[in-house]
Amino acid sequence: MSDARWAWGVGLATTSEDGTVLDAWFPSPAAGRIPLGLDPAMPPDELDRHAVPDPRRAVTLDVVTVEANLDEPPTSTPDAYLRLHVLSHRLAEPNTVDLDGIFAHLPNVAWTNAGPMHPDDAARLRPFLSREGIQVQGLDKFPRLLDYVIPPGVRIADASRVRLGAYLSPGTTVMHEGFVNFNAGTLGASMVEGRISQGVVVGDGSDIGGGASIMGTLSGGGAHRVSIGARTLLGANAGVGISLGDDCIVEAGLYVTAGSKIVLADAPPRHDGSRVTAKGGELSGENGILFRRNSLTGAIEAVRRAGAGVTLNDALHA
């Protein structure tokens, strides 16, 4: 198997008093196998000095060395965290790393401004945490991206809106109400003011408008992984459950799913005067389409459009 399908890293794992591994941070993960001659028993000094107990949170930090076959499912919590780091460090694009069963290796964690804690310990030690100025900021399996990785060339207005495992290309701006899940993200400079769900990728130069939503696959949404092409606009409060090609526009407030009945506005009427229609799934991935709602009939219409799609503000995404 090619070394390109492996990854490795040396990092710090946090373990609670009951032995639960809560997380693992890998500052410099790398593609390939562990280099010959590397001694896992001799961690870098900058990590080794942090491998100490933290009695405030009832945890211990230990140096870990992990090597993962990215074509096979994760086998442990540190393995799962390495894969999320691989994505956020842009070593592999979304949907190219095997994440099957990852939830089983990610415990529910009390995320604090001092680091992760076991939820039971957070409840038990709350008076002491308050005295130390430690606040619980969330209770979840996934942490915030910016607590582990600072992707260069990216703007993120609200750290709580982007999970570790998100893939954000240089030039991407995630506004305050934007959200990017793990194993999802942008393949170029993009504006994100809406929701990018797990497994979804957005092409270069596209704009996900405020309040817009892109259907993922985690909650029983089917096996199709939705993608958004380049220079495509998903209008404010709009949504899609189908893929959009390049240079497409979805009108603000319009939600298009695979089962939506869509009038092909450019097609001539049938002999009986009825309009030609298609299901949304039949138009999935096609380029240069404007999806709109007829203000008189309420019907969803698809109109072929020529030329390039949206143009982002270069200064904003520089």
Catalytic residues: 193
Please provide residue 160's backbone torsions phi and psi, each rounded to the nearest 5 degrees. -70, -10
CA-nearest of 71, 78, 89, 74 to 40 is 78
In angstroms, rounded to a whole number, what is the distance separating the alpha carbons of residues 82 and 211?
31
Other C-beta atoms closer than 10 Å to the C-beta of 314 total: 9
Distant-in-sequence, close-in-space partners of 274: CB < 8 Å, separation ≥ 6: none
Q: CA-based angle 170:154:98, to the nearest 5?
A: 70
- In the sheet that holds 115-117, the strands lie side by side as 115-117, 109-112, 136-140
- Tell me the C-alpha distance between 310 and 302, whole Å: 17
